[in-house]
Amino acid sequence: MRSPAAVDSLEAALEAAVARFDDGSATSTQIRYHFGFGDEGRRGKRLRSQLVLEVAEEEGGRPELALDAACAVEIVHEFSLIHDDIEDGDTLRRGREAVWSRYGLAHGINAGDALCSVAYLTLLDGSHADAETKVAMNRVLLAAHLAMCSGQGRDIAFETEPRVTMEDYRAMIGGKTAALFGAACELGALAAGAGTERAAAYARLGCAYGTAFQIEDDVLGIWGDSATTGKPAGADLAKRKWTFPVVWALGGPPSEAREIVAAAYASGSALSEEAVHATLAALDGLGAREAAVGAARAELADAGALADAQRIDRSGRVRAFFGRAARRIA
């Protein structure tokens, strides 16, 4: 990852961007709580914002000139998490109460809405790009935002589906997760002065990495340590979330283990602790975790091949960044 000094610089810029809503209101307090300012253990990884800066540097730009774009991407991500917790009914985020759980549903919705506005104002008011580039960058981020809503809508709709195909799943994560990774890469390239075609190539690279990231996240949502994920172990199974391991398992040949998973996901209600353990054992027996890890690594390899084919990330800087980030399920 970036040096501690660079991370501190990004964090300071992010806090300054969010401070445009520092009006002393309850919403301001809720936003600062969510970002974990002043509490490093409660912050997110800031992967998407760091990615903007990595691409900008790879393309010969000065990272400080890409800070506005980096902050805008991170703020979009963070406000989506506030709303995601509401939509999923998750009461925990990063090991403590989610905004809506701590302050109330209405406050959670309002805080997310406020952050959405802050993100685009940050990009528009940034002093390091001309008007034409600002419009282009906002268009990129808005398109990703719309794709995220589409993916989230699919994810919500899946909750009542008895079966989800791998094609359905990939369409969902392509919007919900990969789109913002793609936008982060594209914005980093644009901030460095790259042309639209080259920036679009970086967008494709980011989407490929975003797909790998979501598959890894699915593994953590089932097998991850709650101390690391900030959520109870097996939480995704308890809520019958359609994740890569589950979709992969149900797409295989008939077996007793497969039927256990199928029955759990056809139950129509949250799984009991006993059912979670049985489903987890069935997934383990089917090799679903190994399949997911293998799929994530294949996505990373494909992303590297894409970078070579498009002649981007020539130094391997962006690939190295993702390689370090991917070690969380190694």
pLDDT for the residue numbered 269 = 86
Q: Domain coordinates of the chain in residue numbers?
A: 4-329
- Residue 248 CB contacts under 8 Å (≥ 6 apart), including other chains: 166, 288, 291, 292, 295
CA distance to 69, 89, 162, 172, 222, per residue, from 214 (Å): 22, 20, 22, 10, 13
pLDDT beyond 60 at 219: yes
CA distance 242 to 244: 7
The tokens for 74 are 């991170």
pLDDT beyond 90 at 45: no
CA distance to 32, 59, 122, 297, 308, per residue, from 305 (Å): 40, 18, 34, 13, 5
pLDDT for the residue numbered 330 = 45
Average pLDDT in the chain: 92
**H runs (alpha helix) in the chain:** 4-18, 26-35, 47-58, 67-88, 99-103, 105-125, 131-158, 166-173, 179-191, 196-223, 226-229, 235-238, 244-250, 256-265, 273-286, 288-310, 317-325
pLDDT beyond 60 at 307: yes
CB count, 10 Å around CB of 148?
22
CA distance 169 to 258: 18
**242-253 pLDDT tens trace:** 999 999 999 999
pLDDT for the residue numbered 267 = 85
CA distance to 116, 139, 247, 260, per residue, from 78 (Å): 9, 19, 27, 36
CB count, 10 Å around CB of 270?
12
Q: At what angle do helices 317-325 and 47-58 cross, to 10 degrees?
A: 160
Are 53 and 10 in contact by the 8 Å Cβ rule? The answer is yes
Residue among 173, 219, 183 at smallest CA distance from 329: 219
Burial of 330 (0-12, 13-18, 19+ CB in 10 A): exposed
pLDDT beyond 80 at 231: no
pLDDT beyond 70 at 98: yes
Residue among 104, 118, 113, 103 at smallest CA distance from 83: 113
pLDDT beyond 70 at 209: yes
pLDDT beyond 70 at 2: no
Are 263 and 189 in contact by the 8 Å Cβ rule? The answer is no
The tokens for 118 are 């802050």
Under DSSP, the state recorded for 39 is -
User: Class of 4-329 per CATH?
Assistant: mainly alpha
**107-160 pLDDT tens trace:** 999 999 999 999 999 999 986 788 999 999 999 999 999 999 999 999 999 998
CB count, 10 Å around CB of 260?
20
- Residue 186 CB contacts under 8 Å (≥ 6 apart), including other chains: 140, 199, 200, 202, 203, 206
**57-88 pLDDT tens trace:** 999 999 889 999 999 999 999 999 999 999 99
CB count, 10 Å around CB of 273?
9
pLDDT beyond 80 at 95: yes
Are 264 and 222 in contact by the 8 Å Cβ rule? The answer is no
Residue among 79, 71, 29 at smallest CA distance from 53: 71
pLDDT for the residue numbered 43 = 82
pLDDT for the residue numbered 271 = 92
